[in-house]
Structures are given as structure tokens and as C-alpha cells.
Amino acid sequence: MSRIGKNPITLPEGVTFEVNDSVVTVKGKIGELTQEIKDITIKVEDGVITLERPSESKDHKAKHGLYRALINNMVEGVSKGWTKELELVGVGYRASNQGQKLDLALGFSHNIVLSIAPEVKVETVSDKGKNPIIKLSSHDKQLVGQVAAKIRSFRAPEPYKGKGVKFVGEVLRRKAGKTA
């Protein structure tokens, strides 16, 4: 049996969980998320969600763990929310935001202006003497990760000096420079 798929999910207070046909809807204080689920049966008893698969086929085993993880991320997202922090490492690298527009100065001839989805809250922190930080938060884990990956792709960290956009706490593999 899938080690992830067999773990039960406990619903926190203030979170409602509904299953209509093959669509799961999770509502909480932060927002509402839906996900289509195929081939897996879902049981809700006393605020505990369990997922069961119909057979031991490879496809059902894979979907068992996948859907359990997706539902768990949805429940955690609508109750607590998800945040990602990005750090801009490099001389002259700046970030600022006006509402949902993120303005990035990453060493190119022009600034990069990115429109962020309305579900994601953007905040930029620029303290003197420290690297600028971009904070992304939302109830949808997939959307936060996708926006963070898009921002990181504009200037991924390079292996020699570590300059670029990196996640806070990310450890980069550094290379040695030229030897004379």
C-alpha cells in the first residue's frame, strides 16, 4: 500500500470538505479550492479523510498517493496558507511592487514588470545592507510555486558567485573559479 496514500487527513476547525461526483471542494477561512479526482474513493468520518484505491495496479497506486497529497495541500492551504520567499543576490538587483505588479531590476537593460495572479499576495522587503526579498503567499500551493519558479527563471543563480534570484534558505552548489 502507498505509504503516503494510506495516511489519514484530519480536517482543522473552520474547514468544510465536500465530494460531488469526482470533484472535491475544500473551503476555509482563507479561500476555496477544487480538484477533480478519478479512480480513488474518498471517505469522510468524524473530520478524518481517508482515501482508498480499487486495485493494486501501478496506476491506482500512483494516483492514491498523488490525490492524498493534493487534498492535504488543499486542506492546509485554506486553513493556514502557503508562502514562498525569494532573495535577490547581486549588486543593483532590486524589487518593488505596486499592487499586483512586480517590478524587478535584475541587471538587464530594462526592468522586468510581471503581473501576478490576484490569488497570490505579493510583498517586497528592501532593507539597507541586506538583499531584497520577495514574499509570495496564497491558499493555492501550486500557484505560489509556479509564480515563484517564474520569477526565479528570469535570473537563476549562477554557480560561481551565486548571483541571481534564489529561494530563501536554498543552498547553492558553488564552483571554483579559474586558477592562475
Q: What does the pLDDT read at residue 21? A: 87
Q: What does the pLDDT read at residue 146? A: 97
**What is the identity of the amino acid at 128?**
K
- Averaged pLDDT, 102-120: 95
- Averaged pLDDT, 46-65: 92
Residue-wise pLDDT for 4-55, tens only, equals: 888 999 999 999 999 998 899 999 999 999 999 998 999 999 999 999 999 9
Residues 74-111, buried b or exposed e (16+ Cβ, 10 A)?
bbbbbbebbebbbbbbbeebebebeeeebebbbeeeee
Q: Which domains does the chain have, with CATH numbers?
A: 9-79 (3.90.930.12), 82-167 (3.90.930.12)
Whether 177 and 160 have beta carbons less than 8 Å apart is answered as yes
CA distance 154 to 84: 17
Confidence of residue 2 (pLDDT cuts 50, 70, 90): low
Confidence of residue 1 (pLDDT cuts 50, 70, 90): very low
Residue-wise pLDDT for 145-160, tens only, equals: 999 999 999 999 999 9
Full-model pTM: 0.90
Cell of 36: 477533480
Confidence of residue 179 (pLDDT cuts 50, 70, 90): confident
- Averaged pLDDT, 61-88: 95
CA distance 18 to 34: 10
Confidence of residue 171 (pLDDT cuts 50, 70, 90): very high
Confidence of residue 3 (pLDDT cuts 50, 70, 90): confident
Whether 82 and 139 have beta carbons less than 8 Å apart is answered as yes
Residue 19 Cα to chain centre, angstroms? 24
